[in-house]
Amino acid sequence: MKIISVINQKGGVGKTTSAINISYSMTLLNKKVLLIDIDSQGNSTSGTNTSEYIVENSSYELINKKIKVKPLNHFELDIIPSSIKLALLEKELINELSRENFLKNALTLYEKDKYDFIIIDCPPTLSILTINALIASNYLLIPIETEFFAFEGINQLIDTINTVKQINTNLEILGVFINKYDIRNKSKEKYVSSLKKVFKEKLLNTKIRKNITISKSQEAKMPVYEYDKESNAAKDFLELSKEIIDKIEE
């Protein structure tokens, strides 16, 4: 059971869209996957149409009460939804000992379920929830755009990762991947070159091309492959998921 956090402290880089579509694409590759939404905004929850379900328990109960939450199954994907109550969690945990380990300890409850991968959709902020995810994870995936402002916060994120690695020595950046890539805009290549210099072999080969199908699938509240499996976006996420799995298994 490998635990992967999809993280970037800058919003708008397609973190949640990536978490949903990587998770779903992995199921197409015959992997058993659990997607956990720990962002109080609940975009992974609404993006998989699970916000329509009435659920007793969410990732809030999983983390705060260490309850083994029964996942919802939608699109052949197991999902633990978010809750607005997560916004209060930082304050609620302030006096708790080892509060940074709550998610790690809770995920041991799922070891017998034989998941190949647990994918965590992290908040776009450095919070106790993000720290919990980093400490619980084996690997990190970082989506990034080829935009000047998208590079902001990367140094801060790397500093955070290095700090957490003092506690979770097994934590590894599995890969950085380019999202919303405009293949027609050659001026973006300078950013690709910069990313190669910074991340070297950590920069994954597969780029997620900018595609209207992604926003349409978001509106339809389903993975892009379910919406249109012939689209470039569906093919890109499937290829990216293959690359991720190969990198872990090599």
pLDDT at 180 over 80: yes
Give the pLDDT confidence score for residue 108 in this predicted structure.
97
**From start to end of the chain, where are the E strands?**
2-6, 33-37, 72-74, 77-80, 117-121, 139-144, 172-178
Give the pLDDT confidence score for residue 184 in this predicted structure.
76
Number of structural domains found in the chain: 1
First to last CA, the chain: 16
CA triplet 33, 65, 43: central angle to 5 degrees? 45
Q: Which amino acid is at 19?
A: A
Give the pLDDT confidence score for residue 54 in this predicted structure.
58
User: Which residues span the domain enclosing 71?
Assistant: 2-249
Calculate the average pLDDT of the chain.
90
**CB 92, CB 64: distance < 8 Å:** yes
Give the pLDDT confidence score for residue 65 in this predicted structure.
87
pLDDT in tens, 75-122: 889 999 999 889 888 888 888 888 999 999 999 999 999 999 999 999
Give the pLDDT confidence score for residue 53 in this predicted structure.
64
**Domain CATH number, residue 86:** 3.40.50.300
Q: What is the mean predicted confidence (pLDDT) over 197-223?
A: 92
pLDDT in tens, 127-141: 899 999 999 999 999
Q: What is the pTM of this model?
A: 0.93
More confident call, 198 vs 36: 36
